[in-house]
Structure 1
Amino acid sequence: MAKLRVHNLATSLDGYAAGPGQTRQDPLGANGERLHDFFWKTRFGSGDDEGSVGLDNDVLEAAVDNIGASIMGRNMFGPVRGPWPDDSWTGWWGDEPPYRHDVFVLTHHPREPVAMKGGTTFHFVTDGIEAALALAFEAADGRDVRLNGGAATVRAYLRAGLVDEMHVPVVPLLLRGGERLLDDEVLAGYSLDRFAASAEAAHYWYVRTRP
C-alpha cells in the first residue's frame, strides 16, 4: 500500500527546522541553510564521486526511492504571501527543479499549474491537506508520496495522523529561533522506530502507531 513519507527534514539541536526571517536570499531563514551542510558532503548530495558514502549518503538515496509525487507548503515553495501577484515566481530551484514529478503545493490562493523542465509540475491545492494527499496519491500511481515540508505543513499532517514514516536528522547546530518541527502533540500516535548516527548528524526514524 502506498505511503506518505517524510525524509531528511533536518532540525537543529534546539528543535528548529528553519531559522527566523525567511527571505529570497535565505530560503530557510537566518543560518537555516546550515541544517543541510552534511547533505552536500555526500556523494548523492554533491553529485561528486569524491563525496562521502555511508549513512548520510544512504538516507539521501532512500528519500527518492519509490517516490511518485510530493507535497509541500506554500512557504516552502517561495516567499510570496497572499494572492499571487503574477506567475513570475516558480520556486527556489531554477528552471529545472529536482523533483521530476508532480508536486502539490498547499495554498489558500488558486493558481494554474506550472510545468517546469525535467518533468516537475507544480499544482496549487486550495482544498486542504487531505485533498492534496488524495491528488498526490493519484498522481503517484501506486508509488509513495513524499511530504517535503516545511515544518508547519509536516506538523499538520502529523496531527491528522496521515504520515506513515518520518526521518529526522538532527545536526549539531543551535538556531535559537525560527520554526520548530516536533512537540509531544504532533508525535502522539507515533513511535521511534530506529536511530543511527554519523559524524555529521543523528538520524531518527518515526512510524505511525495509530490506525
Structure 2
Amino acid sequence: MSLVRVHNFSISLDGFGAGEPQSLETPFGHAGQRLHGWMMATRFWDPTTGGAGVDDVFAERHSIGIGAEIMGANKFGPPGWQDDADWRGWWGPNPPFHTPTYVLTHRPRPSLEMEGGTTFHFLDASPAEALAVATEAAGDLDVRLGGGATTIREFLTAGLVDHLHLVQVPIVLGRGTRLWDGLEALEDTYDVEAVSSPSGVVHLTLTRRAATSA
C-alpha cells in the first residue's frame, strides 16, 4: 500500500516554512534561502561540491520510491500565477519531480507535460480526493507531499501523512506560513525521532504509528 511521505521540508525554530511576503522575486519572502542552506551544501543538491554527511543522507531519501507528488498552489508559483497562462513553474523545462505531479488550486488549467517525465496536473480537490488520484497514478510506489506548510498541515489534519521529515533550521522568522497551527498533540499519533547535524539543523522524523484494535 502506498505511503504519503514528506521529505526535506525546512521550518524555522518558530515553525514557519516560508516568510512573507512571497513574490516572484522572493519565493520564500523575508526568509530568503536561509531555510535551505543546509540542503544546498549537500551532495544531493550539488554532486560536484556538496558534502556527504548526515544532511546528505536525509536529503537523498527525497527521491527514493516516489511515484507521484502533490503540492500546494504556492509551491508551484508566486501569488497570482493563475493569471499568467504562460507560467510553467519555478523549475525550468525539466522539473526535478519526474512523476505525475498534482497542484492543488481553486483555478485548474490544462495539464502541462514537461521534460524528464514530469506532468503537472491541476486539481481543485480536497486532500483525500487529491490523494486518491495521486495514489492511483503512483501504482506500487509512494506519494510525496511537497508542501508548502499550509498543504502539509491540511493533510496532517486529515490524518493522511505516514512519514514526515522536517528540518528545523536555527533561525527565528517571526512571521510567514506556519506549519504547527491546529496540530495539537500530533505526537500522540506519531513516533518522533530527532537527529542533530553538524550544520546546526535538526532532522525531525515523524512516523505514524500503526492503528491498534481495541
**Contact 2:73–2:105 at 8 Å: present in 1 too?**
yes
Residue 180 (structure 2) aligns with: 182
Q: Shift of residue 31 of structure 1?
A: 2.0
Aligned-CA RMSD value:
1.7
Deviations 1:34-77 (A, max 9, x none): 100010111111121x3211210011111111011100001111
Residue 151 (structure 2) aligns with: 153
Unmatched tracts of structure 1, length 5 or more: none
**Contact 1:31–1:175 at 8 Å: present in 2 too?**
yes
Deviations 1:168-196 (A, max 9, x none): 11011121211111246262653243111
Unmatched tracts of structure 2, length 5 or more: none
Deviations 1:93-120 (A, max 9, x none): 1111111111000111121001111111
Q: Shift of residue 130 of structure 1?
A: 1.3
Give, in whole Å, the separation in 1 of the partners of 2:182 and 2:194: 18
Q: Report the CA distance shift for 1:202/1:68 in structure 2 as closer, same or farther (over 3 A).
A: same
Q: Shift of residue 161 of structure 1?
A: 0.2
**Contact 2:4–2:143 at 8 Å: present in 1 too?**
yes
Q: Report the CA distance shift for 1:129/1:153 in structure 2 as closer, same or farther (over 3 A).
A: same
Q: Shift of residue 80 of structure 1?
A: 4.1
Percent of pairs identical after alignment? Answer: 44
**Contact 1:32–1:175 at 8 Å: present in 2 too?**
no
Q: Shift of residue 85 of structure 1?
A: 3.0
Q: Report the CA distance shift for 1:103/1:153 in structure 2 as closer, same or farther (over 3 A).
A: same
SS at match of 2:74: helix
What is the TM-score when the length of structure 2 is the normalising length? 0.92
Residue 45 (structure 1) aligns with: 45
Give, in whole Å, the separation in 2 of the partners of 1:40 and 1:85: 31
What is the TM-score when the length of structure 1 is the normalising length? 0.93
